[in-house]
């Protein structure tokens, strides 16, 4: 039995492994380490499908495993990060929840700011989006709605902007609870919208067939050089705008 058919699934499991570690760091408010392992997970997520196609070992198992891994790295993690950010932004006292089943077993005290639970809607919307993707046979050359990895990059960029660019205006905006709640709503909508977004898959490398992809890549590099982590939300907006233009000009 050829070992090559297991290689893409192993890479997918590396994505899941990185996402699981990212969860641990996110729960402990270490957003830089969270971002590092999210980036690694998304890197592996990109290459597992590529390897499967190159090795000609695509399988239904691989498709399902990929979605399960994405659910952690690009579903659970951004939800936790948003939950944490909203919690930080809220000045109101947290609600302490404690419950015991018996004298021998008790839950430890958990502190939750109820409003911050809205952030976990990103996890729910991501699960719904991944489930729809698995049964939608049309999404081969394009995505319907924002892909979960792109959405995760959007959310994870917020603490990175605060950590590394430390701009008072951006910090006050990012730690505004209504901005975060509004962004959560927008994120959930984009994940499950019917907006067609082009995929970064190349059937050939001609400019005429890939002009929007090349434009996105070049402008993204320029934005990253000029604005660093602030560029990530701008790139997501650029991706959506270019996709809308592509849809309007190719009908």
Q: Determine, yes or no, domain membership for 12.
A: yes
- Tell me how far CA of residue 157 lies from CA of 60, 154, 181, 227, in angstroms: 32, 5, 16, 12
Average pLDDT over residues 42-48: 90
> Which range has the worst mean pLDDT, 46-60, 153-167, 178-192?
46-60
Tokens of 109: 């005290």
| CATH number of the domain that residue 22 is part of | 1.20.120.1760
* Total domains in the fold of the chain: 1
Hunting for tokens 């809607």 — which residue is that? Answer: 121
Number of H helices, E strands in the chain: 10, 4
Do 75 and 127 contact (CB within 8 A), yes or no?
yes
Q: Determine, yes or no, domain membership for 244.
A: no
How far is Cα 239 from Cα 251, in angstroms, rounded to an integer? 19
Q: Determine, yes or no, domain membership for 207.
A: no
Q: Which domain holds residue 152?
A: 3-194
Q: Determine, yes or no, domain membership for 250.
A: no
Q: Determine, yes or no, domain membership for 243.
A: no
Do 241 and 176 contact (CB within 8 A), yes or no?
no
How does residue 4 score in pLDDT terms, banded at 50, 70 and 90? confident
In three-state secondary structure terms, 239 is helix
Q: Determine, yes or no, domain membership for 219.
A: no
The pTM assigned to this predicted structure is 0.90
Of 201, 195, 239, give the one whose Cα is nearest residue 220.
239
Contacts of 88 (CB under 8 A, 6+ apart): 175
Q: What percent of the chain has pLDDT over 70?
A: 88
- Tell me how far CA of residue 194 lies from CA of 64, 79, 120, 128, 244, in angstroms: 22, 22, 22, 13, 11
Q: Encode pLDDT of 205-220 as tens digits.
A: 677 778 999 999 999 9
pLDDT for 80 equals 97
Q: Encode pLDDT of 66-122 as tens digits.
A: 999 999 999 999 999 999 999 999 874 545 444 444 444 445 556 788 899 999 999
For every residue of 4-24, DSSP letters joined together read GGGHHHHHHHHHHHHHHHHHH
Structural element, H or E, at residue 68:
helix 60-71
> Hey, what long-range contacts does 199-202 have (CB within 8 A, 24 or more apart)?
199/141, 199/142, 199/143, 201/141
């Amino acid at each position: 039995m050829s070992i090559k058919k297991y290689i893409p699934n192993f890479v997918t499991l590396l994505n899941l492994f990185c996402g699981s570690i990212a969860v641990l760091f996110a729960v402990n408010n270490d957003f830089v380490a969270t971002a590092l392992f999210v980036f690694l997970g998304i890197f592996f997520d990109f290459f597992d499908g590529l390897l499967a196609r190159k090795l000609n070992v695509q399988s239904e198992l691989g498709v399902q495993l990929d979605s399960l891994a994405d659910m952690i790295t690009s579903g659970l993690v951004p939800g936790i990060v948003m939950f944490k950010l909203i919690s930080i932004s809220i000045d109101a006292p947290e609600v302490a929840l404690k419950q015991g089943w018996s004298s021998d077993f008790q839950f430890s005290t958990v502190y939750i700011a109820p409003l911050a639970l809205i952030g976990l809607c990103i996890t729910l919307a991501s699960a719904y989006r991944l489930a729809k993707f698995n049964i939608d046979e049309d999404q081969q050359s394009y995505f319907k709605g924002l892909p979960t990895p792109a959405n995760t990059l959007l959310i994870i960029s917020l603490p990175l902007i605060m950590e590394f660019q430390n701009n008072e205006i951006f910090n006050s905006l990012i730690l505004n609870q209504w901005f975060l709640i509004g962004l959560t709503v927008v994120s959930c909508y984009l994940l499950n919208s019917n907006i067609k977004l082009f995929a970064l898959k190349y059937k050939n490398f001609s400019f005429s067939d890939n002009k929007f992809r090349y434009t996105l890549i070049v402008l993204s590099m320029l934005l990253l050089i000029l604005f660093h982590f602030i560029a990530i939300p701008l790139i997501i907006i650029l991706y959506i705008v270019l996709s809308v233009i592509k849809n309007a000009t190719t009908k």
